[in-house]
Amino acid sequence: MNYFKVHPFARMSLYITPILLVCIYLMNIFSPKAAPGEFKSFILAFEFARTVDDTDLLLSGLPARTFKTIETGIYIDFGFMIAYSILLILFLVKSAGLSKSKWLLAGIPLVLVIFFADFSENIYLLKITKFYTTGTKNLTGHILNNLHIITWIKWGGLAIVFLVISVYFFRGNWLHKLASAICFLPFLSGFFAIGNSPLIISIFTNSVFAAFGALIIYSFLYRNKLVERKEKKLILSDRN
């Protein structure tokens, strides 16, 4: 039986998931371990920094080698965002074709917006590190508002994309409904995260990663029953 015919989402996840995992692993390596307050990671606190005091708390007094480490992690994130954007677009295209639900394709422009927001976010983060390494910290103030807006476009956009996918999942069997519930969590928790509580923001961003995990697991578990029956008939006919 042709595995990829029966599991139509599996091929894309098979190719892209290792890239995502390697990028996550490397970004964790190239990121300081200490995170301020209730934030669960340094890079998350950096992305959601709103004031110069926030960036001072994160970056002041760090050695030059640490800044190079942070910047390496940011460069790795460029590869990460390409991989997850391709995964989301392929999933939307494939699911729209299988379900004949063309409205799912409306999520593709939003994925592109997310991609460019993530790209811009990384550029701003690199600018901020450069300000600190060159001693021009006073220049960070005028870009923090832009960074905050772009960061929320990225994370909020991901919550909306997963809301779209959640609606698609909801009408299926138990596997679909479980995936639907997980994919709905980013949209739900995102409302509470708007208040900028570090703990709630961490919960919100973790729910986005959980939704990606649900999407990948679903990709390997989902079977196209119609194709599966046809493949079984072909196997039986060949045996006869």
- 135 exposure class (CB count in 10 Å sphere: 0-12, 13-18, 19+): exposed
Residue 24 is encoded by which pair of tokens?
A: 């996550």
Q: How many angstroms separate the first and last alpha carbons of the chain? A: 16
Distance of alpha carbon 78 from alpha carbon 236, whole angstroms: 48
Q: Which tens digits make up the pLDDT trace of 168-177?
A: 888 778 888 9
The arithmetic mean of pLDDT across residues 75-82, rounded, is: 97
Lowest-confidence segment of 70-84, 104-118, 193-207 by average pLDDT: 193-207
Q: Which tens digits make up the pLDDT trace of 46-64?
A: 999 888 888 888 888 888 8
Percent of the chain at pLDDT exceeding 90: 57
**Whether pLDDT at 97 is above 70:** yes
Long-range contacts made by residues 85-91, C-beta under 8 angstroms, separation at least 24? 85/111, 85/112, 85/114, 85/115, 86/12, 86/16, 87/12, 87/13, 87/16, 87/20, 87/212, 87/215, 87/216, 88/161, 90/12, 90/16, 91/9, 91/12, 91/165, 91/215, 91/219
Average model confidence (pLDDT) for the chain?
88
Residue 93 is encoded by which pair of tokens?
A: 């295209």
Q: Which tens digits make up the pLDDT trace of 103-156?
A: 999 999 999 999 999 999 999 999 999 888 887 656 557 788 899 999 999 999
Is there a contact between 211 and 162 (Cβ–Cβ < 8 Å)? Answer: yes
**All residues at 6 or more sequence positions from 89 whose CB lies less than 8 Å from its CB, including other chains:** 108, 111
List % helix, strand, coil for the chain (3-state, nearest 5).
85, 0, 15
Is there a contact between 151 and 165 (Cβ–Cβ < 8 Å)? Answer: no
What are the E-state strand segments in 101-238?
none
Q: Within 13 Å of residue 233, how many CA atoms lie on the same side as its CB?
A: 6
